[in-house]
Structure 1
């Protein structure tokens, strides 16, 4: 299975939980045949309680509901909630649960986010079923309709069938081909061009290859948003080269509100050289920005992939790419609103930062470098 561009799709940008949660809830409530859901993070709480309710309600009306969670990201989901899902008719599986027999194998996580409704509509982004995603964290999602949804369906089936996926009384497999009784998603008249693209772990990420290709050929703008910015050397060099040749390169990163501050400090050690090259860096101030999206000229990538070693080398990731000037303009407007709510890092002031800040960056950078050497 390879990522291929498909025309005739509809993409709806859904910034913030107040937009994408109601849209997903409506789609789940309207499901008629099946709901296939793949998530990294799900923890017991108010949002999980509501989510379990809508899934079991769908199962009770005859919808096939399959929920696949990462074995680490779901550790906060209580035994009682897992039992509620199973008793409510939801087929629940877990990707790569922790194992003491293969320590290195525990590094690969399923970090994808996907809600697939009846094989005709998909939602992806950076969301999870955790209370913080409702109000405390800034997130972005996209609703997908059209031929590209079939690629999302196949991607889900591949991981569901993986030998690393555990759970369930029976080992039912999903076909990676469209069942005869189902027609492929319809082409949307006047629709947009897009493709699903993924990373399969094991130090190969098609998402990274695609992004770096776009960076190297950028003509006007190159704006990236990620909450976890610990990029590879090749990506840092590509960003610096683009800025030096006159491309408008901007990074929208998490500020003081962060769920893993050490990752932020590890990434800050790269600020100085990027700023000297002409890269503009903004740290989002209102809350923790957990979104992952990019715009390069008229190309957009939005999904689960961060710009850190975990996403770029070990995780299963998936993004929706869109090649359309109109959609890129929508994403650029979203960037502009977020830049206005951010603190721009001044190169001169950053070069004069306190010694203890430099020491902090060195410490967490060293720890991160050590972790990336693990196989």
Structure 2
């Protein structure tokens, strides 16, 4: 589903946990009315404990605090931590807990990442409350002010009181929230919109990307941790490269939390490389960031380029059409490309048989996955 384009926003890029975590905690600590948090991953540890403490302190000040977690992605949150949240006054709900219903329903997960404070400032990206984000994983987030914050709040509200969300937190709490994000006249030109997807039927994020790929004239740079794209997207990227657009993929290297997904995506390298697409694999750590830059259009959020994100998950991205932010994102890409290894087409064509076998094996499994729906 597509949100409306809105002017008068301010978007700040926050690369690496050392920047976005302090910014989010500062916003929560200064909350006066409400704090909304929606996460896929939350696991007991140092980061989760710090978040629980901050949320409970806000609730103790009289702030309405609502935490929406995915029923599968947050299974690593201990019973003790769950009780701490409830005892601390945090309204807690779980999206789609695993159950004895259809496989398709169990596969439908809330993969969004969102923090909204007082209806005035929001954060999104690929982050979660697990310790890997403290040091081991490279992540990028965005701080958001302006009219689009109201769209993020509406997105949160629609899921909080959804029949698929359960828990001790009362569903009607969302109806009392104030939605009053101010227009930033000093950033009049920063246009943005929230775009979201809800499983197989509503793939607006993918459709939006495809339109941008078709319209791009200078560059299409994609950073994603899980690259198993659809046939349609692969063809569009190859055609863009052949017509002279700079098409660049920034993907994880050997450090990966799901190596099988990496192998499944690598089976597409050959044709893309022959079309002129440049592929880089990030070396310092596991690359978990999800950013796309097409000319001066930026998309950042929760959505990966694999079947989980495009076929089952609930996803949401912030899109921005602004040359100033695009220049900042381009500079971030360049820095990360310098820390990456470019795949040489000739060397890739001579890759070992074991590598080819892995691609075939995991590619076959990926193909079976797409037929489960």
Query: TM (normalized to structure 1)?
Result: 0.97
Partner of 1:282: 280
Partner of 2:202: 204
2:342 is the counterpart of 1:323: no
User: Residue 107 of structure 1: CA displacement?
Assistant: 1.0
Deviation at 1:182, TM superposition (A): 5.4
Contact 2:2 2:194 in 1 (8 A): no
Deviation sequence 1:220-278 (CA, Å, 0-9, x none) = 00000000000011111111110011100000000000000000000000000000000
1:200 CA drift (Å): 1.2
Q: Which runs of 5+ in 2 are unaligned?
A: none
Please give the root-mean-square deviation of Cα atoms over the aligned residues, in Å.
Answer: 1.3
Q: Distance in 2 between matches of 1:4 and 1:354?
A: 49
2:71: which partner in 1?
A: 71
1:49 is matched with: 49
User: CA offset at residue 169 of structure 1?
Assistant: 6.0
Does the Cα contact within 8 Å between 1:242 and 1:249 map onto a contact in 2? yes
Q: Secondary structure at the match of 1:207?
A: helix
Q: Could you say which residue in structure 1 is the equivalent of 2:264? A: 266
Give aligned pairs, total: 372
Give 1:97-112 correspondences, 5 Å limit: 97-112=97-112
For residues 1-375 of structure 1, the aligned pairs below 5 Å read: 2-168=2-168, 170-172=170-172, 174-175=174-175, 183-191=180-188, 192-375=190-373
SS where residue 7 of structure 1 aligns?
A: coil
Runs of 4+ in 1 over 6 A off after TM superposition: none
Is the contact between residue 2 and residue 204 of structure 2 (CA under 8 Å) also seen in structure 1? no
Gaps of 5+ in 1: none
| Residue 205 of structure 1: how far off its partner (Å) | 1.1
Helix, strand or coil: the match of 2:82?
helix
- Partner Cα separation in structure 2 for residue 93 and residue 267 of structure 1: 34
Q: Distance in 2 between matches of 1:270 and 1:169?
A: 45
The answer as to whether partners of 1:71 and 1:96 remain within 8 angstroms in 2 is: yes
Distance apart, 1:201 and its partner CA: 1.2
Query: What TM-score results when the alignment is normalised by the length of structure 2?
Result: 0.97
1:54-76 per-residue CA deviation (whole Å, 9 max, x = no partner) reads 00000001000000000110011
Q: Which moved more, 1:1-10 or 1:341-350?
A: 1-10
CA distance in 2, matches of 1:370, 1:351: 26
Per the alignment, in what secondary structure is the counterpart of residue 189 of structure 1?
A: helix
